[in-house]
Structure 1
Amino acid sequence: MSQPIRMCIVCRERSLQGSLQRLQIVDGKLVLFSKVGRSFYICKACMTNNEKKVVKILNNKCKTNHKAMMEFGKIFKEIGSNG
């Protein structure tokens, strides 16, 4: 049986679904996927190495302002250190 393949929104590389972190934006905040609503995947390499690029992409995708961009960076570090 084949495993699902998903794409990282930062580097756009395809990987097995289990090797990517699934996140979503709820009320303007970055959270782990709650199994309801739209979500996106980010690979662990991008989580640790491309913080500026990740923040820029999240800001663009979520249509938030510059102030929220800094908040994403802080939350993203917390999620990255836990996962």
Structure 2
Amino acid sequence: MKPQYLINIIKDIIHQERQPEPFRLGKVASTDGRVNFDGEQSAGLKKYKRLSNYTPSIGDRVLLARVKGSYVILGKIQK
């Protein structure tokens, strides 16, 4: 195996790990758009935008989509 081939494989792995997830799940922490993402201990200070047809309620399980470097709340996931 040539060294450059191995270097390229490592670069590809690092690049893939840096790619943010296109979708994330979380729970609404406040009605102004703060979200506690799955796997995190608490909600951050950032307030996420939402689609106009969804009104957040604290505790809602929501799906967020990555848009231009941030996330947008798409809506509540029904049980």
Compare CA radii of gyration and give the structure with the larger one: 2
Per the normalisation by structure 1, the TM-score is 0.22
Higher helix content, 1 or 2: 1
Q: TM-score, normalised to structure 2's length?
A: 0.22
Higher share of residues assigned strand: 2
